[in-house]
């Protein structure tokens, strides 16, 4: 089992839900975690919560649609820690104010910018830093079951979101092959969860999706996705788990 104490990780979308759960777990296991998100107040609250844990938590306000914000976060890591071991691409957005048949270009573009381009930029910057320090690094993409197939009933309301997650599936494997071909010591994995109990679905209130995913519907907890991240990080160095699907028991799609 690989040891994680003292390793440096960047977690995007760290202010709530799965991102905050990942931050909590990694810091409690002795890692130095840099959490980035748009909501500074939530990052500050998370920092207060974790101040007595064995690891360290640092945070930066970052909009994943802005390349300069992402690059500034990596500069912070390089200047302060010199090295980076883990990137968790968790930030993602699902908007219910649009559709594909008569939707909003702005809404589509926003989802593509966060879910695809932001992931690509962060992965590129992580690879550059890891290669420069010859680090046995790890890039973990928090994907979705919709990155493998368009699940019903969720898919009926997901508009361009499954397309963005299919892109993450493709990028994960394409990056893995690029790194393999150059003999770069960075592992790449994709976690594809089913429905998770997070505030991502707040935007569904008042839509047909709200009824179809009632409160008694099976859902994963954010902490269960975080456990999967830690599982990957603690695998032996010669083990590369390229993709994991996790669902709440009872989820059909």
Active site residues: 161
CA dihedral 203, 205, 206, 211 (to 10 degrees): 130
CA 34 remoteness from chain centre: 13
Cβ pair 61, 38 in contact under 8 A: yes
Q: Are the C-beta atoms of residues 229 and 22 closer than 8 Å to each other? A: yes
- Residue written as tokens 């010859």? 134
DSSP SS3 for 209: helix
| Residue 66 CA: distances (Å) to CA of 118, 143, 217, 230 | 8, 21, 36, 28
173 vs 243: CA distance, rounded Å: 9
Q: CA–CA separation, 105 vs 98, rounded Å?
A: 9
């Amino acid at each position: 089992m690989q040891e994680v104490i003292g390793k440096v990780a960047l977690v995007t979308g760290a202010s709530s839900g799965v991102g905050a759960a990942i931050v909590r777990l990694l810091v409690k296991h002795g890692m130095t975690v840099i959490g980035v998100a748009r909501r500074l107040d939530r990052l500050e609250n998370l920092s207060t919560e974790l101040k007595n844990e064995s690891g360290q938590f640092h945070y930066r306000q970052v909009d994943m649609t802005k390349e300069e914000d992402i690059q500034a976060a990596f500069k912070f890591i390089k200047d302060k820690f010199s090295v980076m071991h883990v990137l968790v691409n968790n930030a993602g957005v699902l908007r219910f104010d649009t559709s594909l048949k008569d939707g909003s270009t702005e809404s589509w573009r926003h989802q593509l910018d966060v879910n695809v381009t932001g992931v690509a930029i962060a992965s590129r910057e992580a690879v550059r830093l890891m290669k420069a320090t010859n680090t046995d690094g790890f890039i973990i993409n928090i994907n979705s079951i919709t990155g493998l197939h368009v699940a019903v009933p969720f898919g009926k309301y997901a508009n361009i979101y499954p397309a963005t997650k299919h892109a993450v599936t493709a990028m994960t494997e394409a990056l893995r092959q690029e790194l393999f071909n150059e003999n770069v010591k960075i592992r790449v994995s994709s976690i594809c969860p089913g429905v998770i109990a997070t505030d991502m679905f707040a935007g569904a209130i008042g839509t047909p999706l709200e009824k179809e995913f009632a409160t008694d519907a099976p859902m994963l907890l954010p902490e269960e996705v975080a456990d999967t991240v830690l599982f990957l990080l603690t695998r032996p160095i010669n083990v590369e788990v390229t993709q994991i699907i996790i669902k709440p028991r009872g989820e059909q799609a």
